[in-house]
Amino acid sequence: MTKAEKVQFTINTLQEIYPTIPVPLDHKDPYTLLIAVLLSAQSTDVRVNKITPILFAKADNPYDMVKLSVAQIREIIKPVGLSPMKSKGIYGLSKILIEKYDGVVPSDISLLEEFPGVGHKTASVVVSQAFGIPAFPVDTHIHRLMYRWGFTNGKNVVQTEKDAKRLFPKELWNELHLQIIWYGREYSPARGWDLQKDIITRTIGRKKVLENYRKTKKAR
C-alpha cells in the first residue's frame, strides 16, 4: 500500500466502526467542556465524569466558580489527581473569563492557551468539540497509533500533530481525532494489545511495530 492508500484505509475503517462518535467528556457548553478537559490531564474520562457533576452542581459558570475558594474547588476535584494545580487553574481561568471576556469562552486557540492550566491540547479539544473549528488534539492514544501505523516518527506530540494535519483532510480532523481515541482504547491499547482485533495496525502497521509485537508474544 502507498501512504495515501494507508491513510484512506484508516479513514474508511474508522468511519465504518464509528459512524457516530460520542464525546468522551460530559459537558453542556464551552465552559464546562473547558473545565472537564483541564481536569482530564493525567486522569481518566470516567473519573472526570464522576466528579464534574458534583463540581458543576455548585458552579457551572465562571461567575459561580469564583465564589468558591481554591481550597473548596481542590477538595471537590481531589479524586481526579493533581488537584492543587488544577484548582488554581480553574479559579484563575474563571476570573480571567469574567475580567476579559464577559464570562464567555473564546474560540481562539491562542487566547485559550493564555489561561492558567490550559495547554495546546486542551485548547484544541475545546475549539474542535465546542465550536466545531478544525483542530487535531493529540493525546496518548493518537500519539501511539500514529506511530504504530507509520504515520509519524513518534518523537513528540508536536510532530505527531503536524503529521496528522498533513496526512488527513482538514474537514475530517474533528471526527478523526475522536475516532482514533476510541479505536485506541478499544482495539489498540498500550497494554493488553491483541493484534488480531486491531485491523488497522495489522493491515498497515509499521514493520518494526509488528515485529516487536510478535517477539513479545513468543517470549510469553
User: What DSSP state is assigned to residue 63?
Assistant: H
The answer to whether residue 25 is domain-embedded is: no
94/173 same-domain check: no
SS3 state at 117: coil
Cβ within 8 Å of residue 152, ≥6 positions away: 143, 146, 159, 160, 163, 164
pLDDT band at 219 (very low <50, low <70, confident <90, very high): low
pLDDT band at 215 (very low <50, low <70, confident <90, very high): confident
User: What DSSP state is assigned to residue 43?
Assistant: S
Cβ proximity of 31 and 38 under 8 Å: no
Q: What is the mean pLDDT of the chain?
A: 96
How far is the C-alpha of 200 from the C-alpha of 11, rounded, in Å? 10
Residue 216 pLDDT: 82
Q: Is the pLDDT confidence value at 205 over 80?
A: yes
Cβ proximity of 23 and 129 under 8 Å: yes
Per-residue pLDDT tens digits for 63-93: 999 999 999 999 999 999 999 999 999 999 9
147/169 same-domain check: yes
89/168 same-domain check: no
- Find the CATH number of the domain harbouring 117: 1.10.340.30
Per-residue pLDDT tens digits for 114-150: 999 999 999 999 999 999 999 999 999 999 999 999 9
75/112 same-domain check: yes
37/126 same-domain check: yes
160/107 same-domain check: no
95/154 same-domain check: no
Q: Is the pLDDT confidence value at 4 over 90?
A: yes
**How many angstroms from the chain centroid is the CA of residue 58?**
25
158/195 same-domain check: yes
The set of catalytic residues is: 121, 139
Count how many domains the chain has.
2
145/196 same-domain check: yes
Residue 22 pLDDT: 84
- Find the CATH number of the domain harbouring 195: 1.10.1670.10
Picking from 105, 131, 157, the residue at the C-terminal end of a domain is 131
142/127 same-domain check: no
Cβ within 8 Å of residue 72, ≥6 positions away: none
pTM: 0.91
153/125 same-domain check: no
Residue 153 pLDDT: 93
Q: Is the pLDDT confidence value at 195 over 90?
A: yes
Picking from 97, 131, 165, the residue at the C-terminal end of a domain is 131
Domain extent for 144: 3-20+137-219
114/158 same-domain check: no
Cβ within 8 Å of residue 209, ≥6 positions away: 147, 148, 150, 201
Picking from 104, 131, 158, the residue at the C-terminal end of a domain is 131
